[in-house]
Structure 1
Amino acid sequence: MGGEWKYVTVNDVAAPTRNAIVGGPFGSDLVSRDYTATGVPVIRGQNMGARWISGPFVFVSEIKSQSLAANLACPGDIVFTQRGTLGQVSLVPESSYRSYLISQSQMKLTVNPAVADPLFIYYLFISDEQQNYIRQHAIQTGVPHTNLGILRSTPIPLPPLDEQRAIAHILGTLDDKIELNRRMSQTLEEMARALFQSWFVDFDPVHAKAEGRWKKGQTLAGMPPEMWDLWPDSFEESELGPIPKGWSVGRLGDCIDLNPTRSLRKGEVAPYLDMANMPTQGHTPDDVVPRAFGSGMKFVNGDTLMARITPCLENGKTAFVDFLNEGQVGWGSTEYIVLRPRMPMPAEFAYCLARSSSFRDFAIQSMTGSSGRQRVPSEALSKYPLVIPRSDGLGLFGKYARVLLERGSKAVVEARKLSNLRDTLLPKLISGELRVKDADKFLFKRGIA
């Protein structure tokens, strides 16, 4: 650590104002009946876990928030979890909300801008050293928790203010790029699902032809004229209601295999995806690690995985497998169902189907078992009624959706590389081991700075 760095306490960097370090309201001062549809957002544990506080929120009225004015947090404040998931730290963002109310399980720090940079303090607290300090000084009686006294007396290294800002800028730039890549991946995945919804649920191209809005030789919503012949121009009745003429109605089991056989030897090390890393949004898992095979569902590239147990099914835990090497077999929880379409149905069709609201509702309604441990049997899913398009339309969808999901996966891979880089730089910058000018050169060589 450079000589100009010093150790101080959190109390030393707090703003010289009342309630600069404060906890949430007393229990009876904020209860569920205080929540309203709109108003001042309440920060709870589920709104933390990332750099910025984010929704969805519950709200209280302006009048209620003013009665708890001491417990309000404003943009730039840092929020810590006091009980529950200790170690959670997030910043209050600049947004359309002027203030937020912290819940009983949080603490808030308003930083003195003449002494410390809030973003630097945030990165300091997500470092391994500070996370270990939080855990080691937690009060273990009952639910592990901390308190304002411990927070105030927490020692932290503090460089000069300009160096704090420079460190925060470097790490913040990396986080901005990580978030941009993740948003890009999510947008691309949403585009693939929107295409599925338009073509195979709402039948938009068929409606456009039937209503005369799409004529031969014309373009429709990005669809070139040569696609005109792929779509029927009328509907026919079916057990599911009107469907495009020439299409058929079947059951999911007629065209998609559930839990197909894959081969892995006991003890063989293979990519492992646990339930915690299954995405609730987007198609790409957060992390896949090597692990010796024990027992669980096996999968290959092109498979779709969906959780079959409560509450993971209701939460939307679903993934598209495109992260394995060629010929590789991965494995995961026994609580997955694996879906693999048969030709000519493209692999991406099963993923988009598994993400659709009608399919999700059918799966949830088909769950069996005791309360809290309910599961959907694969046999029940095989009976899901399905409109089966013609093969030429399926092939076209697969071509478009594949490009979108592949681009989304590349964005996630890039985000992971940047995350690893940030995690490597963070402790070195926070401790002073790596100086700002050296970090700038390091990033410049990689085209990041």
Structure 2
Amino acid sequence: MNEYKLKDLIHIHNGRPYAHLSDGIIPVYGSGGIICYVNEALYDREAILLPRKGTLNNIMYSNQKIWVIDTMYYATTNNKACPYYLYRYLGLLNLSHLDSGSALPSMTQATYYDIKVKLPNIKTQQRIASVLSALDDKIELNNRINAELEAMAKTLYDYWFVQFDFPDENGNPYKSSGGKMVYSEELKREIPEGWEVKQLKGNVKFERGISYTSKEIENNDGIPMINLSSITVDRKYRSKLKFYSGKNINKKVSFGDMLIACTDLTRNADIIGSPISVPKEYEEYVFSMDLAKMEIITDKLKQNYLYMSLMTDYYHNFIKWYASGTNVLHLDLKGIEYYPLLFPNIDIQKKFAYKIKIIEEKKAFIINENQKLASLRDWLLPILMNGQVGFKETTHKEEIIKSQQKKQHLELLLSQ
């Protein structure tokens, strides 16, 4: 192991404002993660993303085109450090004690440059990075599979409840087979005969989450807490859990419950009012005050149908009008009560719910697998970094052969 200061290994670059950019496909990173997508890149190679303000322990890594905002730094490495290895190494450190801010936690470039690290030689770094990144790659593959499952669910919803080609009593697509349609004044379009359009008021109820102090979430002890960071800018769940050690644990949720985002830090109100379905990672959770639990109180609605309806752009464009604030948006939950929802025949909803349940169970299995993979990675991380497990020196040719064999063996294990 060799000891360095970070100034011997990296060059730190400042992030930049992004308000002048247009929407696009390039992720914009803030100290909490991706906040939106734009049409230009600030950097397009491997980089370690270091918080300048905000959550100082949230070190990130990228190997694609990105934009980094001005509350972040991005660091490039020289030939003494493997970027991915150093990213994982820094993630093991507690940087919060280096805070140079007052009200808002802050880090200067000088403070980062002065941090001491102990690294093995570059070959060992690369070997360790290869093992850990193989686990990350499998997790990312699982995430893509789940995204495809979500796309399947959306396609089914659109086919049944937008095109109205759900199966009729003969198993034929309803509208395409001449099913009777009537005009809805509320929706300004035709809907199947016998279906209703009603506001959600009186059909759902809400419960806001808990408030907490920074001390109550500073350690990974306690009950998992779903929070605003658990919702991505494209309105999907991600496992960005905090762990709550306080006493206010009377507000709990479990697998399948629905939560609504009541706060939004994005510039385009990307997540305000968005629903997420509680995953199966843990048996139960608490949820933060930025969220509200939404519960159906009528037998005329199935939750799978309601959830998919609230994932539509039509709903999202409606609910944004009930958000107010400048830098931080806050949702008036009455806006959801005013939402005009199409109430399909309950038997059709039940058939839809059955099909969606199969998809959700597959997603839950994959999420559970990802949790195990992440636990394995996090268990390996410190023992590899501390040199408790080593690599035997071999010739270059032998190393290539063994590296490929190890990778194939690891991929085989992970695929089972």
TM-score (normalizing by structure 1): 0.68
Matched, 1:279 2:244: no
Correspondence for 1:420: 375
Contact 2:14 2:73 in 1 (8 A): yes
Contact 1:306 1:319 in 2 (8 A): yes
Give CA-to-partner distance per residue, 1:405-448, whole Å, 9 cap, x none: 221122112111211221111111111122357xx79x959923
Correspondence for 1:357: 313
1-side partners of 2:373 and 2:278: how far apart? 22
Correspondence for 1:146: 107
Q: Whose radius of gyration is greater, 1 or 2? A: 1
1-side partners of 2:69 and 2:229: how far apart? 27
2-side partners of 1:82 and 1:246: how far apart? 58
Correspondence for 1:381: 336
- Match of 1:145, SS state, is coil
Contact 2:142 2:370 in 1 (8 A): yes
Correspondence for 2:98: 137
Matched, 1:320 2:281: no
Correspondence for 2:163: 203
Correspondence for 2:13: 23
Change in Cα spacing, 1:82 to 1:284, as seen in structure 2 (3 Å) is closer
Correspondence for 2:30: 45
1-side partners of 2:253 and 2:311: how far apart? 18
Of 205, 209, 227, the match for 2:171: 227
2-side partners of 1:148 and 1:370: how far apart? 30
Correspondence 1:276-315 to 2 at 5 A: 276=228, 278-280=230-232, 281-283=235-237, 286-287=240-241, 294=248, 299=253, 301-309=255-263, 315=271
Correspondence for 1:266: none
Q: Which has the higher strand share?
A: 2
1:244 Cα shift? 3.3
The more displaced of 278-287 and 156-165 is 278-287
1:237 Cα shift? 1.5
Contact 1:181 1:415 in 2 (8 A): yes
Matched, 1:183 2:183: no
**Counterpart amino acid of 2:136?**
D
- Match of 2:184, SS state, is coil
- Match of 2:165, SS state, is helix
2-side partners of 1:408 and 1:389: how far apart? 26
Instruction: Report the count of equivalent residues.
Output: 379
1:329 Cα shift? 7.5
Matched, 1:111 2:64: no
Give CA-to-partner distance per residue, 1:354-411, whole Å, 9 cap, x none: 2222333333434589996744245x53443222222342222112211112211221
Which structure has the higher relative contact order (CA within 8 Å, separation 6+)?
1
**Counterpart amino acid of 1:85?**
T
Change in Cα spacing, 1:252 to 1:304, as seen in structure 2 (3 Å) is farther
Contact 2:165 2:173 in 1 (8 A): no
2-side partners of 1:147 and 1:89: how far apart? 15
Give CA-to-partner distance per residue, 1:255-311, whole Å, 9 cap, x none: 943249xxxxxxxxx966443354343356644868787476555654322134556
1:174 Cα shift? 1.0
Correspondence for 2:364: 409
Correspondence for 1:220: none
Identity of aligned residues (%): 19
1:253 Cα shift? 4.0
Of 228, 234, 238, the match for 2:184: 238
1:32 Cα shift? 6.3
Give CA-to-partner distance per residue, 1:224-269, whole Å, 9 cap, x none: 9963065563422122333333232232448943249xxxxxxxxx
Gaps (5+ residues) in structure 2? 208-221, 393-405
Of 8, 13, 16, the match for 1:12: 8
1:126 Cα shift? 1.4
Matched, 1:258 2:212: no
**Counterpart amino acid of 1:363?**
I
2-side partners of 1:238 and 1:333: how far apart? 38
